[in-house]
Structure 1
Amino acid sequence: MAAFKNKDNGTWYVQFRYTDWKGERQQKLKRGFATKREALEWEREFLMEKQADVNMTFESFVALYERDIKPKLKLNTWLTKESIIKKKILPYFATVTLDELMDNVFEGKSAVIENLLYTGAYILAGAPKIGKSFLVAQIAHHISTGQDLWGYKTHQGTVLYLALEDDESRLQRRMFRMFGVEGTSSLHFATNAKMIGGGLDEQLEKFVREHSDTKLIIVDTLQKVREAVSDSYSYSSDYEVIGKLKQFADRYGVCVLIVHHTRKQPAGDSFEMISGTTGLLGCADGALLMQKEKRTDTLPCSLCLTFGGGGLPSCPNPLHDI
């Protein structure tokens, strides 16, 4: 490789030949580098990219991915992916070569409910009064007692249920209605909590330190723990609020299940019915969606599941009727 200096303006340029993916010889010229080193580095990255070399930097690999996938996606879908890449991947891997990345060993996510819930942040969304609180109460009880749920194996541990739209009397009636007088010391309730970024982190951290076997924290509902900044939230604020809960979940290896509402308007993709922007689902590890034809129907609800982090199964069709 060689770099040349432009005597007219003092900048550097590279000019070289390479073999493209068709096996044909091509010529490349790139001008405007401030230093010889920058010019040579650019040429090296370019050639590795064209040769699909595993020693290219991860940043170059991401650039390749963007050029390939962006034209094939809807704008909102790409913006979600781009935000995840820039905020959750590139800050850690920008200077790591692909070869080095593939040599790393990462700990996988632990299952809380096999093939359903793992460590991380998940959204459970459904229309008002559809039965979300009954569903999360059932999930909480099964994990705290170690009972299988709908045939899925659970991993027993302590559960914290922030029932922020209830009082203790209402909670007692619901739990009695569902489980009778059978109790468990591994299921904890709270009917008030501080806001995200305003003390909730510290409250949850204190609980997890006191209960080292905590598997699940339920936040019912999201609106009760986020600051009301305006009538509508932006993509960045939605992403940030879920991001803070996800950071906590990842730091302590627990599952945080966040109860939220769906919007009234129909959508082509069921998960686009989740109230708010795509920033909520974009940052979450996955989402569960409760649906029924009419809220007043006595027929069972359908529960669908999608994962956003990759490496885990997704279920575009109803997962279970409840």
Structure 2
Amino acid sequence: MEQKKLNLKEVLEYIDPVDCSYEEWLNVGLALHHEGYPMFIWEEWSANDGERFHPGECESKWNSFGSYTGKQITGATITQMAKDNGWTSSRQWDNTAIPFGAMVMANPDPYKIIDKTWVESADIEIPKHYPEEQRVADLIKYLEILFDQEDYVGYVNTVYTHIDSKDGHEIKSPTKGSFGRTQNQILDALRSNKKVDDAIGTLDEEAGAWIRFNALDGKGVKNNNVTSYKFALIESDEMELGKQKAILEQLELPIAAMVYSGGKSIHAIVHIDANDYNEYRTRVDFLYKIVQKNGFTVDKQNKNPSRLSRMPGVMRAGKPQFLMATNIGKESFKEWEEWIATVNDDLPEPEELDALWDNMPDLAPSLIDGILREGHKMLIAGPSKAGKSFALIQLCISIAEGKPWFGFDCAQGKVLYVNLELDRASCLHRFKDVYEALDQRPTNIANISIWNLRGKSLPMDQLAPKLIRRAEKKGYKAIIIDPIYKVITGDENSADQMANFCNQFDKVCTELKCAVIYCHHHSKGNQTAKRSMDRASGSGVFARDPDALIDLLELEADNLDESKLAGAPVDVSQCTAWRMEGTLREFPRFKPVDLWFDYPIHRVDEGGFLSMAEFDSAQAKGLDKMNKRKQAAKEKKQQQLVDAFNIAAAESNFSNRADIKRVAEIMKVSERTVRNYLKEIPIYKVELGELVERVNG
């Protein structure tokens, strides 16, 4: 066995043999045999299916694998089965080999609604007598539910005898059967003859009879002869009948007809309601996936729309193929699909405000007074070299020691710093350097934990569960992730992808009941003309998702009069100056805080030396340029409006008046655009919605 490969024994933990068909169970054994694993691995795993496991069966099969000549089954079969059940392998983004046994479990499967081990068998009463009257009634009801009057119905009441290649026994199989009669014709025959045999032909009561549950074109019985893709068949030969019925009912499947096959299975004819074959395949694949995930070992050979199912109203080897139920579960596939998506969503139920009005829940206590509550999220954004990481390290220390952070009091508690960017030694030295620069004794240094992940970080959706597992029961008040570009999954400019990314922070907050604080960089270009919440790079989701956004913009301290800097607590020539602004959800906006970045710490400008400072010259020049472009564009619009007005007024011979529609035609814009121009450039006014009058000649 190659040690560099994934440990298939561990992957098997994500596959329940109870949910496997016989073929899937056999493929697991073949894959383990091919990959060089010992037989007992397969046997131990198989034993988890108490109903079907038989001691010695695995060994017997295993010994025959050496002469197996079928399609080669490898370990990839096992990993794919595990993926279908929610497992995903951990992937290193530098293309290095996946470590032996390295994996993570995906989020709990929202489509797994039923735990098969807790399903109680439903009662099934198989009639001892199946009188002809009831047989006819069952078949009539079945045909009326599944078909329209002019639909051609395919059915089989004749068989041919052959030898089963597997065990050598003689078996009877259905022929091509009949496909040239409509539903209405068959119903007429049933109602007039009062007997199933007389209506559809003599039956072989040892083999029973079959019917195709989708309408045909009257020319054949293949998939391309199907004219409507209304129904699909769900069946299992490998489960106890009572459990089959219980799972089918608990899944609220939109079952048009449920038929006892007269053998080992129930046939559920399920609404698919597809418009064409491609949609049919997609919906049936989803249907099979859901029932399989919920413990129903579905026969996957029944996917075709032209498939035969057992016909109700006939006998099979002394047992009735009878109609058990009709129109149960949801009314349509669409309604069922929506129900599946919501029934296991773990979302809270709506609350009535009047029941809570006099007994409001307590607000979460403040972690950073006036900025952030415990259990909430905060983003620090700023340009490169703003010292964002140092600011976060200062925050770690402030929380650990219960000291203010840039003038804002912090609650004391434990904090985890997730370092994604610095090598371990540099990170640790930074903490010591900041402590010393703050002249702060490390009295409560035990409150700080550091998780160094440089070169080992994962996408946030994979990192979150690992983080939660390591941090649970540690009692952290805050987890600081620095920086997030190392763990972003998807396109940072995509709102929906970034919404999913930010949801991972919510999971951490919820599971660990602590605050999550992280930093991100500004987008390129001038930022001074933007609101603080629009400066972070990528989708606006970044700024709108957190409960608190702290933004840093550089100030141009060099332009200040030297006399105004006299007595400043820092060496201005060695420092950079910054203005910290906040956009808050839980607290009122605070007055901007001016800071000196005096490496390695930020110091609050207590003396107000930076109060007259402007943003750095590069940004100021960019702002001036932007303002000039805006003014030039406004002047161009005004001139176009004046020219168009003069032309329209001359054409209409009105005194200082013009038709607004004609003005729009001349400018080659919509009337709505002209009205917007008039709001922006109020040199005309609109009267009666029709005309424009010059205000200033």
If the length of structure 2 is used for normalisation, what is the TM-score? 0.30
Q: CA deviation at 1:223?
A: 1.1
Change (3 A) 1:130 1:141: same
Superposition map of 1:1-322 within 5 A? 96-100=351-355, 102=357, 105-119=360-374, 120-180=376-436, 183=442, 184-192=445-453, 193-198=457-462, 200-212=463-475, 214-227=476-489, 229-230=490-491, 232-265=492-525, 266=527, 267-293=529-555, 298-308=575-585, 311-315=586-590, 317-321=591-595, 322=602
Change (3 A) 1:148 1:96: closer
Partners in 2 of 1:96 and 1:217 — Cα distance?
Answer: 30
Are the counterparts in 1 of residues 418 and 481 from structure 2 also a CA contact under 8 Å?
A: yes
Partners in 2 of 1:207 and 1:145 — Cα distance?
Answer: 23
CA offset digits 1:278-306 (Å, max 9, x no partner): 11222211211011136998343111111
Q: CA deviation at 1:96?
A: 4.5
Match of 1:247, SS state, is helix
Match of 1:197, SS state, is helix
Q: CA deviation at 1:101?
A: 5.5
Match of 2:433, SS state, is helix
Change (3 A) 1:96 1:114: closer
Are the counterparts in 1 of residues 371 and 548 from structure 2 also a CA contact under 8 Å?
A: no
Partners in 2 of 1:320 and 1:92 — Cα distance?
Answer: 42
Letter in 2 for 1:111: S
Q: CA deviation at 1:132?
A: 0.2
Letter in 1 for 2:577: P
Partners in 2 of 1:134 and 1:122 — Cα distance?
Answer: 16
Q: CA deviation at 1:260?
A: 0.4
Q: CA deviation at 1:152?
A: 2.7
Q: Percent identity?
A: 21
Larger Rg: 2
CA offset digits 1:99-118 (Å, max 9, x no partner): 34535623312211211222
Match of 2:508, SS state, is helix
Match of 2:385, SS state, is coil
Change (3 A) 1:238 1:101: farther
Change (3 A) 1:284 1:312: same
Are the counterparts in 1 of residues 395 and 405 from structure 2 also a CA contact under 8 Å?
A: yes
Q: CA deviation at 1:217?
A: 0.6
Aligned residues: CA RMSD? 2.6
Task: Flag structure 1 segments of 5+ consecutive residues without an equivalent.
Answer: 1-90
Letter in 1 for 2:381: A
Q: CA deviation at 1:275?
A: 0.9
Partners in 2 of 1:295 and 1:188 — Cα distance?
Answer: 36
Larger RCO, structures 1/2 (Cα 8 Å, 6+ apart): 1
Match of 2:399, SS state, is helix
Are the counterparts in 2 of residues 130 and 295 from structure 1 also a CA contact under 8 Å?
A: no
Change (3 A) 1:115 1:257: same
Partners in 2 of 1:205 and 1:195 — Cα distance?
Answer: 14
Are the counterparts in 2 of residues 114 and 154 from structure 1 also a CA contact under 8 Å?
A: yes
Task: Flag structure 2 segments of 5+ consecutive residues without an equivalent.
Answer: 1-346, 559-572, 596-601, 603-697
Letter in 1 for 2:510: D
Partners in 1 of 2:425 and 2:368 — Cα distance?
Answer: 29
Q: CA deviation at 1:312?
A: 2.0
Change (3 A) 1:109 1:295: farther
Partners in 1 of 2:594 and 2:390 — Cα distance?
Answer: 15
Partners in 2 of 1:320 and 1:140 — Cα distance?
Answer: 20
Aligned length: 224
Match of 2:478, SS state, is strand
Letter in 2 for 1:117: L
CA offset digits 1:187-230 (Å, max 9, x no partner): 111221432111x2222223332412x11111101111222x34
Are the counterparts in 2 of residues 246 and 284 from structure 1 also a CA contact under 8 Å?
A: no
Are the counterparts in 2 of residues 126 and 132 from structure 1 also a CA contact under 8 Å?
A: yes
Change (3 A) 1:190 1:251: closer
Match of 1:170, SS state, is helix
CA offset digits 1:22-56 (Å, max 9, x no partner): xxxxxxxxxxxxxxxxxxxxxxxxxxxxxxxxxxx
Partners in 2 of 1:252 and 1:195 — Cα distance?
Answer: 19
Change (3 A) 1:154 1:92: same
Change (3 A) 1:96 1:116: closer
Match of 1:287, SS state, is strand
Q: CA deviation at 1:241?
A: 1.3
Are the counterparts in 2 of residues 123 and 259 from structure 1 also a CA contact under 8 Å?
A: yes
Are the counterparts in 1 of residues 414 and 447 from structure 2 also a CA contact under 8 Å?
A: yes
Match of 2:500, SS state, is helix
Partners in 2 of 1:98 and 1:113 — Cα distance?
Answer: 29
Match of 2:429, SS state, is helix
Change (3 A) 1:92 1:281: farther
Are the counterparts in 1 of residues 533 and 544 from structure 2 also a CA contact under 8 Å?
A: no
Letter in 1 for 2:517: L
Match of 2:592, SS state, is strand
Are the counterparts in 2 of residues 123 and 287 from structure 1 also a CA contact under 8 Å?
A: yes
Letter in 2 for 1:220: D
Letter in 2 for 1:203: K
Partners in 2 of 1:276 and 1:130 — Cα distance?
Answer: 19
Partners in 1 of 2:594 and 2:519 — Cα distance?
Answer: 18
Match of 1:148, SS state, is coil
Partners in 1 of 2:557 and 2:542 — Cα distance?
Answer: 24
Q: CA deviation at 1:164?
A: 0.7
